[in-house]
Chain A
Amino acid sequence: AQSVTQPDIHITVSEGASLELRCNYSYGATPYLFWYVQSPGQGLQLLLKYFSGDTLVQGIKGFEAEFKRSQSSFNLRKPSVHWSDAAEYFCAVGENTGFQKLVFGTGTRLLVSP
């Protein structure tokens, strides 16, 4: 069965500093990978996704992620964090099946210090 590991429960970054959130997955086939952000009182918003092709994926809000098959990783990055980026971030892997079931990691809470 597929699984997702986000090793960092929470991370604090200074505003303007770079960010990298780690995600490792376990899946037998080529995975569909996603990063979602959850802000208080709001639904999960898709930041970016990887299905195939270029392993460096650009998303919204200045985020990008790189798929590394050899490391089973899909880390999320942003070169300069803004205070509004403070939220909970979830990595997810999707089954390559008709129903596209998602398995989520436990999330990383990003805190942004002034």
Chain B
Amino acid sequence: EPEVTQTPSHQVTQMGQEVILRCVPISNHLYFYWYRQILGQKVEFLVSFYNNEISEKSEIFDDQFSVERPDGSNFTLKIRSTKLEDSAMYFCASSQPRGGADYGYTFGSGTRLTVV
């Protein structure tokens, strides 16, 4: 079964450093997403991306965050200057509408970001 692949599985970074979280969505999917989950809290939407641009973003997704699809396979989330409160699991997801309907997202297994 096709998978969404995320790397690394765990990233430790110092406060103020830049991090890039990487995702390889399912190959024929066209819609891409980032979510995050702070330990013990809900899964929160960050951003959606389609046709090489952001289609929607949440309040969490401020100027410190950016997304990019640098080639035909990767989808990245960059945090410019990490803060302690950015520590969380970050999940990438992708979807592909079929027949005019949208059948939901496939999520990756996540990257645990720890900011120290």
Partners in one complex: no
Binding site for A on B (CB under 8 A): none
